Amino acid sequence: MKKLWIVLSIFILSLVLVACSGGEYRVKVGTFDQEIPVDNYKVYYEVFVGAFSDSNNDGIGDLKGLINRLDYLNDGSKESGKSLGVEGLWLMPIMPANSYHKYDVRNYKAIDINYGTLEDFELLIQEADKRGISIVIDLVLNHTSDLHPWFKAAKTAIQTGDMTNPYIEYYSIVTSNQRLNGHTYYQLYGDYYYEGNFSSTMPELNMDSALVKAEIVDIIGFWFDLGVHGFRLDAAKYVYLNDTAKNIEFWNWFMEECYKIKEDAYVVGEVWSGDASILPYYEPFNNFDFGMSGVSGVISATANGQDSVNYFTTYVGNWRTQTKSKNPIAILHPFISNHDMNRAAGFLSIANHRMHMAANLYIWSSGNPYIYYGEEIGMKGFRGSENTDANRRTAMLWGDKDTVKDPVGTTYDVANQTNGTVKDQLNQKTSLLNHYKTLIMLRTQNPEIARGVYQPLVFQGYNTFGGFTATWNGSTVGVFHNTSEEPITINLANYRSQSFQSVRGYAGKGSASLSGQVLTLDGMTSVIVK
Ligand SMILES: [Ca+2]
Ligand SMILES: [Ca+2]
C-alpha cells in the first residue's frame, strides 16, 4: 500500500512538473516508470588542462592551475560582469597517459601525474560546484595505451601460450586470417594481431567482452562518485569500425548504465562525420554538430556571408527536428572549432567582426554551445603539412605571470598571436572577450534560446538578415542577425502574426531598437527581442 502511494505521489508530482516547467523528461528505466526531469542546457568551455594554467612552475598546465582560473570562467555571480559566465567545462583527458594530449590511457581511475592528484580533482569539483559549473571529462574507451596493464598482460599471455588468460579477450586480438578488411592491425606475437585503427600504440578494446563491459561500469561509477556530470565520448563511431548498428546497441547499453548511476547524466559523443552519419548516434546521446563547425561549416559560412542567414536558421531548425525524432531529450551542440581543428580566428576576421558574428550565431542558438579555450580572445593556431596538432593546443594567453608553456611539438610562432591576451582584452570594452561575456550573459537571461522550440522565420529576398523564434515554458523570444556592414530596418509584422514587446539585448558592432514592430538593427549586430 505504501509503495502504491509512492508511485501515485510521483505520478502526481510528474504531472505538476509537466504543467509548470515546460521542461524535458527522460523515461526512467528501473523501479518506477516515472519520468525524470532533466535540464542539461549549458554553455560549455573545452579545456586542454596541459596548456591552460600552471600552478607549480613546471610549464605544464594542471588541475590546481585550472582551479586558480575558475573565477575567470565563472565567478558564481551572474551580475558581476567580471567572468565569462560558462556553466560547464569539458576537460580533455586527465587520466595517466604517455602522450602530451593523453588520448592513450594507461589507467582509467587516476589523474595523470603532470596534472595532479585525485584530491586536486575533488577540490576542482567542489570549487566548480560553488560557481555553478558542471564538469564533463573526456572518456576514451575505444582504445587504451599499449602500456596499459591490461594490454601488457594480454601480450605476455599470448607470448607464453597462456591462452585462457582473461586479458586476451579485453582487446581485438585475432589470428592473421581473422583480420577484417578495412581495419588496421599490428602484429602482437607470432600469428596474433591486434586492432589499432588510430595507432600501433593504441590497441582497441573488445566491447563484446563481458569483462570489458564490467570494467566500463566500474570506471563510470568511479567518476560519477567523484562528482562529474557526465562524459565526452572520444571516437564514438570507432567502437565497432564501420558498423553503426552495433555501435548504437553498445552506446544504448552504456547510457543505461550511466542512468542507473546518475539519472540526469549528460553525455556528448564525438562522431566526426557528415550529418547523415551523426544522426543515428542521437538515439543514445547528444553529439557535437560537426556540420556547423570548422572553416566550411554553416556557422563560419554564414558569418562570412557565403550562406544566407535564412539558410542557417532553416538548417538549425531542420537538424533540431531530426535529432529530436531520434531522442526527445536530444540537445544540439554547435561549435566553431575544437582541439582537432585549426583555430577559428585564423579563418574568421576579428577586424571585420566576422569572428564576433560567428559567436553570435552559435552562442545565441538552440542547445549547448562549446567554446574552445582561447577562442574567446581570438587565439590563432593551425596545423601545417606535418604532424603539428600541438599548434592548435598552445598555451592560454593570460598576459600575466602564468608559467604555462606550449605543449611539446608546437611549431606555431607566438608572434602570430596578435589579438591580445586575457589581460589586454579585459580592459578593452569592445574586445572579443567582452563580446563573449555579453553573449553568454544575455543567453543565460533568456533561457528560451537554448531550450525552446525553434522556429526559423524566412525573410524572402534577404541574404544577410534573418532570425528565428524560440518558445519555451509559454514564453517566446526572437533572435535576429544582420551579417552585412549596413544597418537594416524591417517590419517584423510582415513576417510574424504575434507582436514583440521589447529589446532584451543586442551584441555586435552596433545597436538595435524596436519601434512598434519595426526593427532597426545595425550591421554585424544581433538582437534578442521578446
Ligand atoms: Ca604544472
Ligand atoms: Ca574499436
Give the pLDDT mean for 31-57: 89
Cell of 357: 558574428
Q: In what order do the strands lie in the sheet with 192-195?
A: 173-175, 192-195, 185-189
Q: Which of 46, 54, 195, 270 is catalytic?
A: 270
Report residue 385's pLDDT band, with 50, 70 and 90 as the boundaries.
low
> Cα–Cα distance between 492 and 479 in angstroms, integer?
12
Average pLDDT over residues 503-524: 98
Q: Is 432 exposed, middle or buried (0-12, 13-18, 19+ CB in 10 A)?
A: buried
Residue 475 pLDDT greater than 90, yes or no: yes
Q: What is the residue-wise DSSP string for 330-363?
A: -----BS--TTS--GGGTS-TTTTHHHHHHHHHH
The verdict on whether 270 is a catalytic residue reads yes
Residue 174 φ/ψ, nearest 5 degrees: -135, 165
Q: What's the average model confidence in pLDDT over 21-50?
A: 80
d(CA 359, ligand 2 centre) in Å: 35
User: Which of the residue ranges 13-22, 42-51, 427-436 would you say has the lowest mean pLDDT?
Assistant: 13-22
DSSP string, 158-176: HHTT-TT-GGGGGB-EEEG
Span of 24-38, 76-90, 92-106, 477-491 with lowest mean pLDDT: 24-38
Enumerate domains of the chain plus CATH numbers.
2-35 (no CATH), 44-141+209-305+332-445 (3.20.20.80), 149-195 (no CATH), 453-529 (2.60.40.1180)
Does residue 378 sit in helix, strand or coil?
A: coil
| Structure-block grid coordinates of residue 241 | 569500425
pLDDT, one tens digit per residue, over 215-227 is: 999 999 999 999 9
Cβ partners under 8 Å of residue 521, min gap 6: 465, 480, 482, 487, 488, 489, 490, 506, 510, 512, 527
pLDDT for residue 29: 53
Q: Read off the pLDDT of residues 401-422 as tens digits, 9 standing for 90 and up.
A: 999 999 999 999 999 999 999 9
Verify whether residue 46 is a known catalytic residue.
no
Distance between Cα 279 and ligand 2 center (Å): 20
Asked if 266 contacts 233 with a C-beta cutoff of 8 angstroms, the reply is: no
What is the number of the ligand closest to the CA of 234? 2
Q: What separation in Å is there between the alpha carbon of 237 and the centre of ligand 2?
A: 8
Which ligand is nearest to the Cα of residue 207, counting in written order? Answer: 2
Residue 28's pLDDT is what? 60
The answer to whether residue 17 scores a pLDDT higher than 50 is no
Average pLDDT, the chain: 94
pLDDT at position 36 is: 79
The whole-number average pLDDT for the span 333-346 is 98
- Predicted confidence (pLDDT) per residue in 79-135, tens digit: 788 999 999 999 999 999 999 999 999 999 999 999 999 999 999 999 999 999 999
Say which ligand is closest to the CA of 185: 2
Query: How many other CB atoms are found less than 10 A from the CB of residue 388?
Result: 15
How would residue 11 be classed by pLDDT, with cut points 50, 70 and 90?
very low
Rounded distance from Cα 432 to ligand 1 centre (Å) = 28
What residues are neighbours of ligand 2 (ion), with CB under 5 Å?
A: 142, 204, 238
Least confident of 12-21, 48-57, 193-202, 310-319: 12-21
pTM of the model: 0.94
Across 192-217, average pLDDT: 98
φ/ψ (deg, to 5) at 175: -85, 165
Distance 234 CA to ligand 2 centre (A): 11
Q: Is the pLDDT of residue 187 over 90?
A: yes
Q: Which residues pair with 91 in a beta bridge?
A: 47, 137
Task: Check whether 19 has a pLDDT greater than 60.
Answer: no
In Å, what is the CA distance from 222 to each residue of 142, 420, 457?
Answer: 18, 40, 46
Distance 353 CA to ligand 1 centre (A): 35
Total number of residues shown for the chain: 530
| Confidence band, pLDDT 50/70/90 cuts, at residue 9 | very low
Sheet containing strand 518-521, edge to edge, reads: 488-491, 518-521, 512-515
Catalytic hit among 24, 54, 146, 234: 234
Contact present, 89 and 127 (Cβ < 8 Å): no
pLDDT above 70 as % of the chain: 94
Strands (E), 211-367: 230-233, 266-269, 286-287
Query: What number is the average pLDDT over the span 48-74?
Result: 98
The gap from C-alpha 125 to its chain's centroid, in whole angstroms, comes to 18
For residue 503, give the nearest of 521, 485, 483 by alpha carbon: 521
